[in-house]
A and B are shown apart, each in its own frame.
Chain A
Amino acid sequence: MNILETIRIGLQGIAANKLRSGLTMLGILIGVAAVIVLMAIGNGASVAVTSSIESLGTNTLTVRHGTFGGGGESGRTQFKDLTVDDAVALVDPVLAPDVVSATPVVSAAATCTYGGSSYDTSITGTWPSYFGSTNSDIATGTPLTTDDVVNSRRSIVLGQTVIKELFGEADPLDKVVTCGGVPFTVVGTIEEKGSSGFLDADDVAVAPLSTVQSKLTGYGSLDTILVQAASSEVSTAAESEITSILDQRHGTTSEDTRDYQVLNQASLISTVQDTIGIFTVLLGAVAAISLLVGGIGITNIMLVTVTERTREIGIRKAIGARKSAIMTQFLIEAMVLSVIGGGIGVVLALLVTRISVAGVTPVIVPSSVIGAFVVSVSIGLFFGSYPANRAASLRPIEALRHE
């Protein structure tokens, strides 16, 4: 009795009861599709957030003024400003070999107007190195120049969201926009980066640091210093170099009294990925339960099938089918159900994941496709083995007597 014959007999059994076989497959189908789709959504969310963080530059570190959380600590006596001198001091080939550039940044909320349109945005006052550190490519015009900064020129470079709000389709170059009551000439535009959910990377207006400080914010502390590390691999080393330089300059003695904070994009990405990873596992676990339920459905239907076909089993045994032949026949029926169900589930999942859900474009995890399929086949084997064994163990005289 060869295996092809057994498969043929198994397929005949399935074909004999199409509706029931179809519904049983549906259980496995939904389980497999759910595992793949939910994993893909989790993965897609992770990819989206990661790329939005990466669009800010993975090798950048942000030194932020002040502290997070511990605001009212009485122990702090000094609260030094973050200054342009701090930024200059960070670029030190000896003390900070991994730091490529340091860019001071201030920002001011301002309403920009042009013609009849107005738009509330945030004006960033900075140095020309800002564009490199933030991966901002110039689409038209020129970036800011050192000359602009030195002479406190009222030049401004706009992101695509600001342009769309103020100019619509018109060319913004050389036009004069008024931001916070100060007229700026548009010298350049930044290429579109795309918004990713919570963060619109195109909602920016960049002007020279000196201009923004003199006209809008005053000469207080910098908001941030953008530090570019040589690569994302050395960003952790750069972080400790920055900390040691600034601790010295600010006279910081312990972590509790530190009046600034360094945010490392690379570690932010890994934190975010870890978090999303947990959710992905949870989603996958829920889906895996539905796969399990589908598997129980197979056992159930196979038990019904065995009972229903007891007499047929008796006939087969009477004419010489061995226990293993009967066992294989029913196992194969169960496996065919799960393989076809799993296969259609994979196809369905591949189709569904082409649709983006709630702003997240699902990204299929290849291992989840293989995993879900393999699991569905094993489920067929596992959940089919009990009914198959029961069928094979029937005694022929009793099975023949069965009506």
Chain B
Amino acid sequence: MSTPVIDLQGITKTYGAGDTEVNALRGIDLSIDRGDYVAIMGASGSGKSTLMNIIGALDVSTSGHYALDGINIDDLDEGALSIVRNRKIGFIFQSFNLIPRTSALSNVELPLVYRGVGRRERRQRAVAALEAVGLADRMHHQPNELSGGQQQRVAVARALVAEPSLLLADEPTGNLDSRSTNDVLTLMGHLHDQGRTIVMITHEDDVADHAGRVVTLIDGLISEDRRNTA
């Protein structure tokens, strides 16, 4: 297979210094191939959020090497990181994180706005992404007019619209009822079937069961890396 989407080697992350030093990650080696659907699990404090920030290019590691889609992330500056996030990563957050008072369509368009895509193409792609998540009829609604499940689907559309190499979902079902959880997980399953690479952070086993591969963290180290047998 070609270069892995995510290639982490000996990643450590240390917060603070001296007595208050906290080693959130203590040497992570992880490689995720294109088209894989990976769940990262762990109890709170296991370092999974820190790992997600590093994979998402929101934060940089203290030491180790990280290549995303073949691009070395370690020594990029803030401006370059924002370009990487815009082009390579689609984020899905636990609390949806849509921009308030802004229509679903505008929210979905936003990554393309920051990429500098023209108005017409942007509109087309955003509409297509909303149709893909089944919300074509809600595109002019504002976030507070949508249910949690619908908001999360808008967020998925926003993550998809820029055709990123990686979908990065941070507890995507944490704020949803069971029905919406199912909707969103089914949607992610479809996306996986279409060949997208998905990394999902979660602490729920039944959510992780949807993924093809489950990586479990304990105390900043990978304790288990297994494939779900479908």
- Taking Cβ atoms with an 8 Å cutoff, the residues of A that contact B are 1-2, 5, 12, 16, 311-312, 314-323, 325, 395-397, 400
Contact = CB atoms under 8 A, between A and B. Distances in A.
Contacts of A319: 85-86, 91, 110-111, 114, 158
Contacts of A395: 59
B79 A323 contact: yes
Specify which of B83, B93, B97, B102 lies most central, judged by the most chain A CB atoms within 10 Å of its CB: B97
Nearest to B110: A319
Contacts of A312: 99-100
Interface in B82-97: 82-83, 85-87, 91, 93, 97
Nearest to B56: A318
Contacts of B56: 318
Nearest to A318: B91
A321 B56 CA distance: 14
Consensus secondary structure, chain A interface: helix
A1 B45 CA distance: 38
A318 B79 CA distance: 12
B83 A320 contact: yes
The 10 closest A-B pairs by CB, nearest first: A320-B86, A320-B114, A315-B97, A319-B111, A322-B82, A320-B85, A397-B58, A396-B58, A16-B101, A321-B114
Contacts of B101: 12, 16
B116 interface: yes
Specify which of A2, A312, A315, A400 lies most central, judged by the most chain B CB atoms within 10 Å of its CB: A315
B75 interface: no
B134 to A, nearest CB: 21
Contact of B113 (A5, A314, A397): A5
Nearest to B84: A320
Specify which of B78, B85, B113, B116 lies most central, judged by the most chain A CB atoms within 10 Å of its CB: B113
B175 interface: no
B35 to A, nearest CB: 23
B114 A318 contact: no
B58 A1 contact: no
Nearest to B106: A12
A248 B25 CA distance: 106
Contact of A311 (B86, B97, B111): B97
B140 interface: no
Interface string B160-181: 0010000000000000000000
A16 B100 CA distance: 9
B112 to A, nearest CB: 10
27 contacts: A1-B116, A12-B101, A16-B100, A315-B98, A315-B99, A317-B82, A317-B85, A318-B58, A318-B97, A319-B86, A319-B91, A319-B111, A320-B82, A320-B83, A320-B111, A320-B114, A320-B115, A320-B162, A321-B82, A322-B79, A322-B114, A323-B78, A395-B59, A397-B53, A397-B58, A397-B59, A400-B93
Contacts of B78: 323
Contact of A318 (B83, B85, B87, B100): B85
B115 to A, nearest CB: 7
Contacts of A315: 97-99
Contacts of A323: 78-79, 82
A24 B93 CA distance: 34
A35 to B, nearest CB: 35
Contacts of B86: 319-321
Specify which of A317, A323, A325, A395 lies most central, judged by the most chain B CB atoms within 10 Å of its CB: A317
Given A317-B82, A320-B162, 5 more contacts: A12-B102, A322-B82, A322-B114, A323-B79, A397-B58
Contact of B114 (A12, A325, A397): A325
Contacts of A320: 82-83, 85-87, 111, 114-115, 162
Contacts of B114: 1, 316, 319-322, 325
B116 A2 contact: yes
Contacts of B111: 319-320
A314 B100 CA distance: 13
A161 B85 CA distance: 84
Nearest to B83: A320
Specify which of B82, B93, B116 lies most central, judged by the most chain A CB atoms within 10 Å of its CB: B82
B34 to A, nearest CB: 21
B102 A400 contact: no
